[in-house]
Amino acid sequence: MSYRVEGAVAVISFANPPVNGLSHAVRAGIATAVARAQVDPSVRAVVLTGAGGLFSGGADIREFGTPANTAEPTLRQLIDLVETSAKPVVAAIVGTCLGGGLELAMAAHYRVASAGARLGLPEVKLGLLPGAGGTQRLPRLVGVERALDMIVSGELVPATVLAHTGLLDLVVEGDALAGAMDLAASAQVRTNPSPKARDIPLDQPNLAALCEAARTGLTKRRPLLPAPMRAVDAIEAAGGPFDEGLAVERRAFLELMETPESKGLRHAFFAERAAGKVDGITPATPVRPLDQAAVIGAGTMGAGIAVALLDAGIPLWLVEADQAALDRGLARIAGIYDAQVKKAKLTAGERDRRLALLRPTLTYDDIGGADVAIEAVFESLEVKREVFAALDRVMKPGAVLATNTSTLDVNAIAGFTRRPSDVLGLHFFSPANVMRLLEVVRGRDTSPEVLATALRLGKALRKVAVVSGVCDGFIGNRMLDGYVRQAWWLVEEGATPQQIDGAMEAFGFAMGPFRVGDLVGHDVSMAIRRHRRAERPGYLCSTLPDKLCELGRLGQKTGGGWYDYPEGPRHPVPSVVVEELVRAHRAEIGAAPRRIQDGEIVDRLVYALVNEGARILEEGIAARASDIDVVYLTGYGFPRARGGPMFYADQVGLSRVLRRVLEFSGNPHGDPGFWTPAPLLERLAKSGAT
């Protein structure tokens, strides 16, 4: 906490790295400094700002559920102290100003922001709403429509967009602190005090209609989340007396804190941050350069990886075996950027700047100077052997050699080189330039500095990197195997693809397993099944998806998979061809269809994930249960509000999960050994642990 007086202005600057969270210590420090300014006769005005290039990321959610969260001064008490200050307070906003930080700034009498600042109330992303007056002050400062959009979406808004609202008195191109100090010292502040935000009348005659329209939209878009609805209620209450609206907001905040959705979202928030903490990796672990890259393979995945690297400003070589394949890859990359320009997400100049970093080549001899080479070729151990032998020959000493394999043995691939300590897996998810998850697969010989370098690369690519050990499918696809096998067996037993997808989407998945299969393409999964049947004697799996592929129905790319797509990929339609295929398949295997409830579908698919996740955890493939949750939240569409499969299992109760697993083990259909409980699940369930 810093306090200084310049002229007649007291400058209070608070710091709590990395985001200036409003912890109890910070709140107490600000309160003490404001009180000090009140009794200093030389001070006429106060400027409040955050240190380190940002105002505040909001409340310190590490304090949620602890005595520090409610210790005085609470955030609401601090806000009241600032708002009732006898001397005008000017907030100098730089960087980000979020959540409780923005609520604090709204209590100031004036607000000056740098042009690059971004402001928002993102509490709904944690299953909450602003709990310190945000739903009451923001509508008075920016209007109800904009407040609804900001609070219900939780998205950040540039200061330049808010420049002509009551929220910001001044937006400056330069130093917001200097602008705030000039304003604080001006005659305007001395002679014409600004009204408090709480005293501004909310002039919105159609308030009820706007709020009802917002509720209607939320019912369609976000039916599982209570926080946005409660936020609308609180904003509507802003039409009445301020203190009554404040009471509505506070009651909703406290109730939302106890909802499973908020607990799941808060778990997800912390889980992503914990995933970056890896045994054996410290800030002192050396990191290799990442100035230039090479991508081997210009197919769909290789092109997506290339775009992710170009987006991060990393120059790269793109390698293909022949000119036609290379041209197709370059067209894919250009097409991705052209689509972004068309949607106004990127300027033509920026597109051209990124494409200028791309160097296509047909020979490995050109890429020896790259710091990292990422292989993205066909999922075949023999093909990968050829690639890594070539990389071993041409790459400079110290280069990181990465495979994008989704299932193959990274240790075997490392063995194709004379430098296995430089080899690891970087498993991207399609589309690689969009999906946030990056599974970083640590091989038996992967050195700590290569692993640290891969984590640094993940951060540069704005990915959520999760470290996995080596096994078939790593964390995500190993669990997915059981999930989709159960889905196929459920069809054999009587469910339809659309019923299963509907049940999982009602549970909260972005897409059900059959729609996902059609999106990804069934030829890839068929190759994986063939590999597993060859490598794992006794591996049992329905032959129904193989028969689908034999009909040429490989998914959206062929116009049909489990669904027909007569109007394009976003419009799946139940297929009569698939209905007949399923009917004939059931007759062939002697399966009499039965009526299956949606609850059984959800339990079988989700608990298949949990049971395999418990094995993965016990084997040390994943370092912690929350890492498994992060994989499924960021890579597989698991509903974020449920916290991930392992957190969800804890919330449901492991004893219930175990009971259902044992019930399913009595099902004679499918694989008799599939539902053998994981030993860790059994131990934890019997001991009442999580």
Catalytic residues: 103, 123
Residue with tokens 């800030």, as numbered in its chain: 283
- Read off the amino acid at residue 643: G
In sign, the C-alpha dihedral spanning 577, 581, 582, 587 is positive
Instruction: Compute the distance between CA of residue 578 and CA of residue 564 in angstroms, rounded to an integer.
Output: 9
Comparing C-alpha atoms, which of 247, 233, 200 is closest to residue 124? 233
Pull the structure tokens for residue 419. 């430098």
CB 407 within 8 A of CB 477: yes
String of DSSP letters for 439-482: EEE--SS--HHHHHHHHHHHHHTT-EEEEE-SSTTTTHHHHHHH
Pull the structure tokens for residue 614. 């418990």
In degrees and rounded to multiples of 5, residue 97 shows phi and psi of: -140, 100
- Read off the amino acid at residue 629: D
Instruction: Compute the distance between CA of residue 461 and CA of residue 438 in angstroms, rounded to an integer.
Output: 10
Pull the structure tokens for residue 58. 């909001």
Comparing C-alpha atoms, which of 510, 629, 635 is closest to residue 272? 629
String of DSSP letters for 349-375: HHHHHHHTTEEEES-GGGGTT-SEEEE
On the CB side of 645, how many CA atoms lie within 13 Å of its CA?
32
Give every CB contact of residue 547 below 8 A, 6+ residues apart in sequence: 581, 585
- Prior bond of 223 cis (ω within 30°): no
Pull the structure tokens for residue 3. 């306090």
String of DSSP letters for 296-333: E--SHHHHHHHHHHHHTT--EEEE-SSHHHHHHHHHHH
What pairing do the DSSP bridges indicate for beta strands 358-361 and 372-375?
A: unpaired
On the CB side of 528, how many CA atoms lie within 13 Å of its CA?
20
Instruction: Compute the distance between CA of residue 400 and CA of residue 371 in angstroms, rounded to an integer.
Output: 6
DSSP letter, residue 590? T
3 state DSSP class of 586: helix
CB 130 within 8 A of CB 76: no
